[in-house]
Amino acid sequence: MSQRHTGRLLPCYRWALLASLAAAAFCPLLTIPPAAAHMKGMFKTKQEAEKRAAELKCKGAFAMGSLWMPCANEQMLHKALQNE
């Protein structure tokens, strides 16, 4: 006794296909280095970060690894970005 194929995917295969498509779509996002997520807000020098801080109407700069971000800390940066 064989089942007749109707051209439709069985429910379990449908979920597997959806999971595969989702993984293929989001996998590249997982390989982006952490610094790339904030590249617009990260600078090589403290002076560049302080210049951006002035544009955001906050003060200072803080180190994030070997790069610099504007404002005194990340909390202040997020607040400044919301007000931009």
Sorted by where each begins, the domain ranges of the chain are 11-83
Q: What is the pTM of this model?
A: 0.54
- Helix 74-83 to helix 46-56 angle (10° resolution) is 40
Where residue 84 falls among pLDDT bands split at 50, 70, 90? confident
| Residue 81 contacts residue 57 (beta carbons within 8 Å) | no
Find all residues with CB under 8 Å of 57, minimum gap 6, and list them: 80, 83
**In this predicted model, which residue has the larger pLDDT, 80 or 37?**
80
**In this predicted model, which residue has the larger pLDDT, 7 or 33?**
7
